[in-house]
Amino acid sequence: AAPPREQWTGQFGFIMSAIGSAVGLGNIWRFPGVAYENGGGAFLIPYLIALVTAGLPILFLDYALGHRFRGSAPTVFRRIGGRIGRFTESLGWFQVAIAFVIGLYYTAIIGWALSYFVFSFDLRWGDDPTSFLTDEYLQVSEPGLSTTFVPGVLIPLVFVWVAVIAVLAAGVKKGLERANVIAIPALGVAFLVLVVRALFLDGAVDGLNALFTPNWAALGDPSVWIAAYSQIFFSLSIAFGIMVTYSSYRKRRANLTTPGLVVAFTNCSFELLAGIGVFATLGFFAFQQGTTIDQLDGITGVGLSFMTFPAIVSQMPGGPLFGCLFFGSLVLAGFTSLISILQVVSAGVQEKFGLTSRSAPVVVGAVSAVLSILLFSTTTGLLALDVMDEWANNIGIEFSAVVVTVLVFWVLRRGRELEYHLNAVSTFKVGRIWLFFVAVLAPVLLTYMLYERIKDLVLDGYSDMPGWYLATFGWGTIVFCIIAAIVLTAFRWVRSPDEFTPWPP
């Protein structure tokens, strides 16, 4: 017989690991720019509404699914499907596929951050960090598929892949949990020092004003709401298998909702803190240039972390230390999320194909690493990354959330059972309001937003990129996930999942 299912040591290990997953590049690299672009201070309203109406409810749903049905996403959706489990399993594989795709580019950004951590010591980017990034470091060429590898990008990327495979192969307790228990406190300290330092820079207050001054008109724009919901899903690591997988390693009698509140609160606090730190720093930059923040370029996404920040670090007293703290934080935050994302893929493959917890990460990691290296260590990596991120997050994850909620609550009608399961041991009880949010409000809102987003992308394209390119890397990503879901569902289970994760309990 196969060994029993792996477990966290206890609640603390789980909470640290769940925070490790939630607090990631999304908090530092994505949130500040998204908030700024979508109404600044006014963005906090859709953000908080998204948190309460969909973020927390779906976080609890993911916990309940993983914990009750005790498996990776495909196992969970097969089990909950009962007689139609052969079909519902595909939803689990769809989530695995999204996690797989995100893992490919997520690693690339961690690799860049690792390079920039080293570059911080001697401010390697020189006087023009923008051209340093695109011309010298990434050596960006026209959109396309290049086979010219860039060694400076390739080497850290390989390093990140080896590290993540090693952590996963060491197992849930000795690998994932241990990595998080060490990295998360370190991240907390480093980031706090960074933010406090930023607040004492000249111009910091102007930066905060730029971030928090509300543009109320933005609230009437559906794309602002979509951005808020996408950000919450990505940031809490929900609706694409991560929390399902992580909660399946919890002990049988476990308090589910209370740790969920702790994790969500910590994540959102960290996110706001990142917004404050980043904008205080931008305020300083604007002050130095004798301009205002709205005149600055590159305060979102890749540009913010890898062009604007290096420029600021160069102008700052004690810049190298500040740079190390910033890029070191990115590496720690990113890595602890990356291990959760690869675990989704690894656990799914492990269970279906009867692999061991040691061999699965090696197989899955090797395949992912090769693809990731092919896509992102060549001269066309940056563009592919931007497009894949947009589609995976704004289409893939939201689509998955809609299908999960409709399937679980309307097709299979398992709402009361999951409510009961959540309440059995948890101290924070959920009830009718939870059911209403997760079963009615979330699917309705998300369906509408998905429709709007798809319409926009079809009619207006994205960032002036050529249509064929969006078809390949954007829509292609979604098509890839759907095909992967169908194909992986069609394979036979090497062993029944019930052998290694006993079911029914």
The footprint of ligand MET (CB under 6 A) covers: 21-22, 24-27, 102, 106, 234-235, 237, 242, 337, 340-341
Identity of residue 111: G
Q: Is 294 exposed, middle or buried (0-12, 13-18, 19+ CB in 10 A)?
A: exposed
d(CA 176, CA 207): 37
Judged by CB, which is closer to ligand MET: 97, or 150?
97
d(CA 99, CA 469): 22
Number of Cβ within a 10 Å radius of residue 435: 16
SS (H, E, C) 138-169: CCCCCCCCCCCECHHHHHHHHHHHHHHHHHHH
HSE-up of residue 198 (Cα within 13 Å, Cβ side): 29
Judged by CB, which is closer to ligand MET: 237, or 477?
237
| Min CB(27)–ligand MET separation in Å | 5
> Tokens 């690799």 map to which residue?
111
| Min CB(273)–ligand MET separation in Å | 13
| Min CB(336)–ligand MET separation in Å | 9
Judged by CB, which is closer to ligand MET: 267, or 489?
267
| Min CB(379)–ligand MET separation in Å | 25
Can you say whether residue 3 is alpha, beta or left, with left for phi > 0 and alpha for psi between -120 and 50 degrees?
beta
Judged by CB, which is closer to ligand MET: 34, or 341?
341
| Min CB(218)–ligand MET separation in Å | 22
* Of 110, 75, 69, the residue nearest 90 (C-alpha): 75
Judged by CB, which is closer to ligand MET: 72, or 337?
337
* Of 484, 497, 137, the residue nearest 345 (C-alpha): 484
Judged by CB, which is closer to ligand MET: 234, or 500?
234
| Min CB(303)–ligand MET separation in Å | 18
| Min CB(25)–ligand MET separation in Å | 4
| Min CB(237)–ligand MET separation in Å | 4
| Min CB(436)–ligand MET separation in Å | 26
Judged by CB, which is closer to ligand MET: 27, or 379?
27
Tokens of 275: 């917004």
Judged by CB, which is closer to ligand MET: 98, or 430?
98
> Tokens 């609890």 map to which residue?
60
HSE-up of residue 9 (Cα within 13 Å, Cβ side): 12
d(CA 195, CA 32): 13
Judged by CB, which is closer to ligand MET: 204, or 369?
369
Judged by CB, which is closer to ligand MET: 270, or 284?
270
| Min CB(375)–ligand MET separation in Å | 16
d(CA 95, CA 235): 16
| Min CB(238)–ligand MET separation in Å | 9
| Min CB(354)–ligand MET separation in Å | 27
Angle (CA) 312-318-322 rounded to 5° is 60
Judged by CB, which is closer to ligand MET: 37, or 221?
37
Judged by CB, which is closer to ligand MET: 364, or 439?
364
d(CA 97, CA 94): 5
Which SS3 state, helix, strand or coil, does residue 291 take?
Answer: coil
Q: Is 455 exposed, middle or buried (0-12, 13-18, 19+ CB in 10 A)?
A: exposed
Cβ distance 368 to 100 under 8 Å?
yes
Contacts of 432 (CB under 8 A, 6+ apart): none
User: Cis link prior to 504 (omega < 30° from 0)?
Assistant: yes
| Min CB(393)–ligand MET separation in Å | 9
d(CA 203, CA 218): 26
Return the C-alpha torsion angle 407, 413, 416, 421, nearest 10: -50
Q: What are the helix (H) ranges across 316-431?
A: 319-353, 359-376, 381-391, 398-405, 415-425
Give the bridge partners for 378, in sequence order.
149
Cβ distance 362 to 355 under 8 Å?
no
Cβ distance 310 to 116 under 8 Å?
yes
Judged by CB, which is closer to ligand MET: 264, or 422?
264
Q: What is the DSSP letter of 407?
A: I
